[in-house]
Amino acid sequence: MTTHEGESVARTAALASDLPSRPRLGAHDGATFVDSLADGREVWVEGKRVDVTTHPDFQPMLRTLAGLYDRQRSPELAHEMTFKSDLSGNPVSLSYLASASPEDLDRKWLNSRHWVEGSHGQISRIPDFMANVVVGLFDFRHALGEVDSTFAANAENYYLHCRENDLALTHGLGDPQVDRSLTPMQRPELGLKVVHRDDAGIVVRGAKQIATLAPYAHDVLIYLSPANYLREDPAYVCWFGARLDTPGLKILCRRSYNGPANTLGSRFDEQDAMLVFDDAFIPNERVFLLDDAGTAVKGFRALNRWSLYTGQIRFHHRLRVMLGVASLLAKSIGVDKFREVGAMLGELASYVSVVDLALKAITQDATATPSGLLAPGSTAALDSIAGQFSERASAIVRQIGASGLIMQPAEGDLESQELRRALDLYMGGRETSVEDKSRLFRLAGDLVIDRFGMRQELYEAWNRGDPVRVRSALYNTFADLPACEAAARTLADLLEHP
């Protein structure tokens, strides 16, 4: 161990004993994960304060998450989803690996694929996503240290704390959507703000819209999105990590999408929440940046370098599922050989292929960061186009499924002997039983017309930030642009002057 590493470990141990910290667990399995959420957090749903570990609306998703954590500790996958911590000797999640080599990146992405495949691409904020933001925070610590040396130490220690305890995180970047024509200077309650600071920490007031996975997460990481980081008043510039059972923090969940057992919402409703900080105290050790808008601007991209890549791994798998569904639908009603349908399926296959090729290329483009890690190349082009691919994928499934997306027998119909003849005659498919066809079409309906699928599509459109901003940022920073313009000029010069 180097002197630097030794100092860091000593500092971590000291800080961990200062803070109300959970015991170091290493990577969770399902049971330890569920137990860890029974901490008295203030979760609100439909106007009632609830306990996520027992409230019926949260149980299906809790079981899904528990299954994912069991997978990471299973004898078959543990070696591809965890690694041995040099700090504790415990197995810890590979999502938290701070990659320093191409081999590290390969191991990380294999782990991400296990998370994504285990959740069938239907949980957008599997814990793997935010763990990778924390890796970004760790990587950015030296820049934070230029603002205040304690911020760098805090970021490093927080990374170790999250890694060693396998914390699941949510994040809150945006201001509440109250009146976008005003700034927090004009209406102070629009932005989360530091209202008090002393030697022990800061007190924050305000809200963040929105935080996916919040009721199932351990901590929230607060930082600022490009829409919010240029603050006129430095009190609005603050990055911190907070436990979700922090006194004064309310988690206001949207209406649950939990439904009948045969719907996707009953298994994969990851929830989205408004986080309300009512004079919540954040200890100094969990504060990563204050006041400095310039560093917040630089930090946004830096923090998201690994998470945006792993988000695209998930998106790729989701597109593959959409292609599979579209193709099976087409076959089940005998339209797959029609030219127009084949062209739509080919279009969807092209999206799957483009994302796959881009993921490979972005890994090839990995670069060393100033702190000595190896980060994947930029996902900006994919981030700009993913929402459009997603919209088209849903439209294609709707176009192929047509009225079948709503006209399917219910479970009760399938059980009725009296209806059986009619169902077999009129509601089956081409070489497909009525049971198989209706299951397939109900899945498609969940994905492209029901609220679960509509929310997923909304997520694909907005989760990387406002797509208008994302696209214009790509244009404004496009490295190949001068060469593109030079090529255009060369061609223009071939033309005779008028």
Ligand X SMILES: Cc1cc2nc3c(=O)[nH]c(=O)nc-3n(C[C@H](O)[C@H](O)[C@H](O)COP(=O)(O)OP(=O)(O)OC[C@H]3O[C@@H](n4cnc5c(N)ncnc54)[C@H](O)[C@@H]3O)c2cc1C
Q: Can you tell me which of 123, 144, 211, 470 binds ligand X, judged by CB under 6 A?
A: 211
Cis peptide bond upstream of 222, omega within 30 = no
Mask: binding to ligand X, 167-206, rule CB under 6 A, as x and -?
Answer: ---xxxxx--x--x--------------------------
Site for ligand X in 437-456 (CB under 6 A): 455
Q: Can you tell me which of 250, 259, 457, 462 binds ligand X, judged by CB under 6 A?
A: 462
According to DSSP, the residues that pair with 76 across neighbouring strands are: none
> CB-wise, 210 or 287, nearer to ligand X?
210
Q: Can you tell me which of 80, 87, 465, 473 binds ligand X, judged by CB under 6 A?
A: 465
Quote the least distance from Cβ 459 to ligand X, whole Å. Answer: 4
Q: How far apart are CA 253 and CA 214, in angstroms?
A: 8
Site for ligand X in 215-234 (CB under 6 A): 225, 227
Quote the least distance from Cβ 288 to ligand X, whole Å. Answer: 16
Quote the least distance from Cβ 223 to ligand X, whole Å. Answer: 9
* Contact stretch for ligand X (CB under 6 A) within 49-57, 292-300, 395-403, 459-467: 459-467
Mask: binding to ligand X, 123-142, rule CB under 6 A, as x and -?
Answer: --x-----------------
Quote the least distance from Cβ 416 to ligand X, whole Å. Answer: 38
Q: Can you tell me which of 53, 262, 284, 463 binds ligand X, judged by CB under 6 A?
A: 463
> CB-wise, 314 or 437, nearer to ligand X?
314
Q: How far apart are CA 65 and CA 71, in angstroms?
A: 10
- Interface with ligand X, residue 36, by CB under 6 A: no
Closest CA to 385 of 351, 409, 421, 413: 351
> CB-wise, 222 or 325, nearer to ligand X?
222
Quote the least distance from Cβ 225 to ligand X, whole Å. Answer: 6
Mask: binding to ligand X, 263-282, rule CB under 6 A, as x and -?
Answer: ---------x----------
Quote the least distance from Cβ 169 to ligand X, whole Å. Answer: 10
> CB-wise, 29 or 446, nearer to ligand X?
446
Q: How far apart are CA 50 and CA 35, in angstroms?
A: 15
- Interface with ligand X, residue 259, by CB under 6 A: no
- Interface with ligand X, residue 388, by CB under 6 A: no
**In the complex, which residues of this chain contact ligand X (CB under 6 A)?**
125, 170-174, 177, 180, 210-212, 225, 227, 272, 455, 458-459, 462-463, 465-466, 468
